[in-house]
Structure 1
Amino acid sequence: MSTPGQPSLHRVELGRTVRRLREHRGMTVRALAGQLGVSIGTVSAIENALVGVSSERVVHLADALGVGPGLLMHGVAEPIRDVRWADAAGTRGAPGVGDWRHYAPLDLDPALRGALASFLEFGYHGSTMRGIAERADLSVAGLYHYYASKQQLLVTLLEHTMSELQGRTTAASAEGVDPWGRFALLVECQALFHSHRRELGFIGATEMRSLARPARDRIARVRREEQERIDLEVLAACGAGAFGTPRPHEAARAVVTMCTAIPQWYRHGGASTPEQVARWYVDFALDLVRCDPAHRPG
Structure 2
Amino acid sequence: MTGGGHSADGDLGPRIRAARQARGTSLRGLAATLHVSPATLSQIENGNTGLSVSRLSRIAEALDLTVPQILDVAVGADPAGVPAVVSTPGPRGEPGRGAARARPDWREYGPLDFDPVLTAALEEFLDTGYHGATVRGIAARAGLSVSGIYHYYPSKQAMLVRILDLTMTDLLVRAESARAQGHDPVERFGLLVENLALFHTHRKELGFVGATEMRSFEAGNREKIAELRTVQQRMVDREVTHAVREGRFRSDRPHEAARAVVTMCTALPTWWRRDGPLSPEQVAEQYVGFALELMGRRGPG
Unaligned runs of 5+ in 2: 1-8, 17-43, 53-69, 77-82, 91-95
Q: Quick check: 1:125 aligned with 2:131?
A: yes
Larger radius of gyration: 1
Q: 1:47-106: CA deviations, max 9, x gaps?
A: xxxxxxxxxxxxxxxxxx943xxx8xxxxxxx6446987449753453542611111111
> CA, structure 1 residues 93+220, in 2 after alignment: closer, same or farther (shift >3 Å)?
closer
2:260 pairs with one of 246, 254, 259: 254
Say which is worse superposed, 212-221 or 160-169, in terms of deviation: 212-221
Contact 1:88 1:160 in 2 (8 A): no
After TM superposition, the structure 1 = structure 2 runs for residues 72-87 of structure 1, keeping only pairs within 5 Å, are: 80-81=75-76, 86-87=87-88
Q: Quick check: 1:149 aligned with 2:140?
A: no
TM-align CA RMSD = 2.6
Give the corresponding residue for 1:264.
Answer: 270
Say which is worse superposed, 157-166 or 23-32, in terms of deviation: 23-32
Give the corresponding residue for 1:290.
Answer: 296
CA shift for structure 1 position 242? 1.2
Give the corresponding residue for 2:215.
Answer: 209
Distance 1:88 1:290 in 2: 46
Contact 1:84 1:163 in 2 (8 A): no
Contact 1:172 1:189 in 2 (8 A): yes
Q: Quick check: 1:279 aligned with 2:285?
A: yes
The AA in structure 1 aligned to 2:274 is H
Distance 1:234 1:80 in 2: 29
User: In percent, how many aligned pairs have the same letter?
Assistant: 48
Q: 1:79-136: CA deviations, max 9, x gaps?
A: 6446987449753453542611111111100100011001111111111100111111
1:23 pairs with one of 14, 31, 36: 14
TM-score by length of 1: 0.73
**SS, match of residue 165 in structure 2:** helix
Give the corresponding residue for 2:38.
Answer: none
CA shift for structure 1 position 235? 1.8
Distance 2:230 2:248 in 1: 24
Unaligned runs of 5+ in 1: 1-17, 36-64, 72-78
Q: How many equivalent pairs are there?
A: 238
